[in-house]
Amino acid sequence: MSLSNLAQSLDEAPDFVVVDVETACSRVSSICQIGIVGFRGGREVFAWETLVDPLDEFSSFNIAIHGIAAHHVEGQPTFGDIHALIDSHLRGRITVAHSYFDKGALAAACRVGAHPLIETTWLDSVRVAKAAWPHLPSHRLNVLTGFLGLDHRHHDALSDARAAGMVIVRAIEHTGIDLGGWMTRRAIPRAKAPRAATTGPLLGERVVILGEAVDGPLANRAAGAGARVMAKVGPSTTMLVIANRQSYGKWVTASEPYRKAQGLIDIGRPVAIVAEDALRRRIA
């Protein structure tokens, strides 16, 4: 079923659509794959993707990223062939993209092919993710999907579009800010750290948790054991806890909190860097 027929079969229009493109070379107009996914009420209601003949060269750098080469797009539609279809599903709607690369690529492809620009209202899921999960060391799509536990094939246009849409859905669930709130750029209320208990095994500790907000469940456990939970590593920090539920992987040691904690250790400050399980054993 084509995207046009599928969308027409829906009882209701999507709340927002998500678009992702891959390009053949350094020219952003060289779109060689596009994926579009529609969401309504927090669920996917349609998905479509196609390879595109960019009428341009393929660079080895880009091929290494997405695996699409010139022979893959032989006989595939050009951007001009699908421009009207893309326009019909983006025009007049909220369109999400993970960074504005995709917005720029569509605009460039329109200019190069002398097609009308697509008029839509854009929402950057990178900006949303940075506001919803500021503690993450990176807001690249593959890092976010790892953190959120989403299936994802990076640099596949349909998978990337689906993942960026789920970032918006999860951010709405996590913050309580609806789509309209994100469109008006309403700020997220600053999370408040729990008050430290006056007694407990962590009395006197000043704790930063890498991979969890200051009002998260582990933060509340630490505060209940006497620790003062802090949002950032500073001169008074005594403990950096690496939460189990985080997607930092190899980026843990490159994250700002870790680097600051290690810097304090290097100058002789008594800062302990511990895993969540070690903290829980100390509290128990």
Which pLDDT does position 52 carry in this prediction?
98
The average confidence (pLDDT) of the chain is 90
Give the list of residues 6+ apart from residue 228 with CB closer than 8 angstroms, or none.
193, 196, 205, 206, 207
Residue 118: CB partners within 8 Å, gap ≥ 6? 86, 87, 90, 91, 106, 107, 110
Identify the pLDDT of residue 166: 96
CA distances (Å), 256 to each of 137, 139, 232, 233, in order? 7, 14, 9, 9
Q: What is the tens place of the pLDDT at every residue in 103-152?
A: 999 999 999 999 999 999 999 999 999 988 887 778 999 989 988 888 89
CB 233 within 8 A of CB 208: yes
Q: Which of 37, 36, 25, 74 minimizes the C-alpha distance to 52?
A: 74
Which residues 6+ apart lie within 8 Å of 190 measured at CB? none
Distance between CA 88 and CA 104 in Å, rounded? 18
- Residue 132 identity: A
* Domain boundaries 206-283, corresponding CATH code: 3.40.50.10190
Considering the entire predicted model, what is its pTM?
Answer: 0.70
The pLDDT, as a whole number, for residue 246 is 60
* Residue spans per domain, the chain: 3-183, 206-283
Give the per-residue pLDDT at 4: 45
DSSP state of 78: B
Residue 9 has pLDDT above 50, yes or no: no
Cα-to-chain-centroid distance, residue 121? 19
Match domain 3-183 to its CATH number in 3.40.50.970, 3.40.50.1480, 1.10.10.10, 3.30.420.10.
3.30.420.10
